[in-house]
Structure 1
Amino acid sequence: MPYADTKDDVRLYFEEVGSGTPILFVHEFAADYASWEPQMRYFSRSHRCITYSARGYIPSHIPDSADAYSYQHFRDDAVAVLDHLKIPAAHLVGLSMGAYSALQAGIQMPKRALSLTLAGVGSGFEKERLQGFRDQCMAHAEEFEKGDPDVVAKVSGMAPGRIPFLIKDPRGFKEFYDALAKHDVQGSAHTQRGFQRGRPPLYEFEDDISRLTLPTLIIVGDEDDSCVEASLYLKKRIATSGLAMFPKTGHVLNLEEPALFNETLERFLVQAEAGRWGARDPRSVRP
């Protein structure tokens, strides 16, 4: 099995397929490397596609300490996969937790990113909801550690932002839910405490975000209540960003609407690679 090693000796399982300009797919909390299969199959026709399981997600290594699950670890892990494959820069495509990590990589190491795709990003963004979000993360971690069968799926799989997927595509949702039920409970608990609860909200990086010049695509479902405001926030502050909102869609964008997601991402990549996805013309901004 192919693995990339991180600076703190965590082994990350990855898969790659295709050739051409590289795309690195970075998964959400309730997923793993396999959740990008609809994108790996589609984009490998024209690109070199890489997907990996984050630390704490089998078959990657599961560190014992919660201290090994900070947002900085997840950010650096994405770059560690690129380093292992000797890829100088790639299009970074992330969903939720993966979008946050892609954004952080773009802020801290912009030369490693050809572009950023930030889908379903920003849960816990609103200041008045932040403490409630963090308390919920701690409660979820404690629930995971009770060890009940399928606990991660029962707690995270039925979150409000995932219900549109269940209603729209019960068969696809069952596949998603069954995969989630196999997650390692300790890795999930550590991720909730370290990454989800510990990561700073987006507005704490406002100056850094406003300085971004990478081509950036923001995607959000109109029924993903936790991420709509954060997506609008990023659109207003990243001059080189575009925003796509999927109708009647929740949080699991790439699986709930795979064809629309692929079409939207492909149009963006074509323009980004052609140098046609620039900053907004100041003349188009309302005074």
Structure 2
Amino acid sequence: MLYYREYIISDEKPWVTFIHGAGGNSNTFFKQIKEFRKHFNILLIDLRGHGKSKRSRWQKGDSFVQISEDVIEVLDHLKIKETHFIGVSLGTIVVQTIAQKHPQRISSMILGGAVIKLDIRTNFLLTVGNLGKYFVPYMWLYRLFAFIIMPRTAHVESRNAFVDQAKKMCQKEFIRWFSVTRTINPFLRKLQRDFFNIPTLFVMGEEDYLFLPPVKDLVEQNEQLALECIENSGHVCNIDQPDKFNAASIKFIYQQYQLKEVL
């Protein structure tokens, strides 16, 4: 089973589950824990091959479907029937996959630095990474990608945090995660058709030049979806601007309970 940490304040409080991105771990949310613990029971999970979930669980052909089932296994173990999910970066794909496969387990989704579509530049980066993953040290590639995705001075802390966390991975795990991205665009297109019945908030940095444009297009086409853009923030907005990220996320979760009372 994946490594997890839980903070429980009351059996009657709702659960919030945090899902980090590729190369990170649950410490990605160190600026969220203190504030969220005031309001909710929280669950932090290290995805396979990340953080303290070191034992490899991969089988040939594994995809984000199997990765999401790892998360469901933890929820089942803890007897958590339903939870709000907060994902960041590639963690948002895991959350969206859970929404497709197990919608009854999700109260709402908050997708930070959401990955919903890869443009030509991002596909080029992944192609380069897949070509070089077997002979280029993975930390070289990871540092390059981190700088391209989070290039500005305001992104230094989040960039450094992800690079430091990625050092805990190994080349073998990096290769396996990178392999999952080969067919990611068709998979993402399928996900976009399925989760609109779940309350969804996108929280994006205004400087997230690779991933913000497709999110804006999607939200404009679907009034059921909400978008919060955070100034002076890049891809990992929960680290760049944690106070604004926390405030928007907590407010959204509470709004869901107000809507339930109205209904």
- Give the TM-score, by structure 2 length: 0.86
CA contact (8 A) 2:90 2:114 kept: yes
Q: Once superposed, what is the RMSD of the aligned Cα atoms?
A: 2.6
> 2:5 matched to 1:12?
no
CA distance in 2, matches of 1:82, 1:140: 36
CA contact (8 A) 2:48 2:57 kept: no
CA distance in 2, matches of 1:176, 1:133: 18
Q: CA deviation at 1:71?
A: 1.1
Q: Tell me which residue corresponds to 1:268.
A: 252
> 2:176 matched to 1:190?
yes
The alpha-carbon distance between structure 1 residues 58 and 176, as it changes in their structure 2 partners (threshold 3 A), is closer
Q: Tell me which residue corresponds to 1:135.
A: 127
**More contact order relative to length (CA 8 Å, sep ≥ 6):** 2
Q: CA deviation at 1:42?
A: 1.3
Q: Tell me which residue corresponds to 2:242.
A: 258
Q: How does 1:1-287 map to 2 (within 5 A)?
A: 11-19=1-9, 20-63=13-56, 65=58, 67=60, 69-122=62-115, 124-126=117-119, 128=120, 131-139=123-131, 141-143=133-135, 146-147=136-137, 150-151=139-140, 153-158=142-147, 160-164=148-152, 167-168=153-154, 170=156, 173-194=159-180, 196-201=181-186, 202-209=188-195, 212-275=196-259
The alpha-carbon distance between structure 1 residues 110 and 193, as it changes in their structure 2 partners (threshold 3 A), is same
Q: Tell me which residue corresponds to 1:284.
A: none
CA distance in 1, matches of 2:160, 2:122: 30
The alpha-carbon distance between structure 1 residues 109 and 54, as it changes in their structure 2 partners (threshold 3 A), is same
CA distance in 2, matches of 1:277, 1:27: 31
SS state at 1:77 partner: helix
Q: CA deviation at 1:113?
A: 0.2
SS state at 2:210 partner: helix
The alpha-carbon distance between structure 1 residues 112 and 172, as it changes in their structure 2 partners (threshold 3 A), is closer
CA contact (8 A) 2:17 2:85 kept: yes
Q: CA deviation at 1:54?
A: 0.6
SS state at 1:91 partner: strand
CA contact (8 A) 2:46 2:52 kept: yes
| Number of corresponding residues | 258
The alpha-carbon distance between structure 1 residues 63 and 235, as it changes in their structure 2 partners (threshold 3 A), is same
Structure 1 residue ranges without an equivalent (≥5):
1-10, 279-287
Q: CA deviation at 1:74?
A: 1.8
CA distance in 2, matches of 1:140, 1:50: 35
Q: Following TM superposition, where does structure 1 have runs of at least 4 consecutive aligned residues deviating by more than 4 angstroms?
A: 128-131, 169-173
Q: CA deviation at 1:135?
A: 1.0
SS state at 1:46 partner: coil
- Give the TM-score, by structure 1 length: 0.79
Deviates most, 116-125 or 169-178: 169-178
Q: CA deviation at 1:230?
A: 2.4
- Corresponding letter in the other structure for 2:41: R
Q: Could you tell me the percent identity over the aligned residues?
A: 21
SS state at 1:142 partner: coil
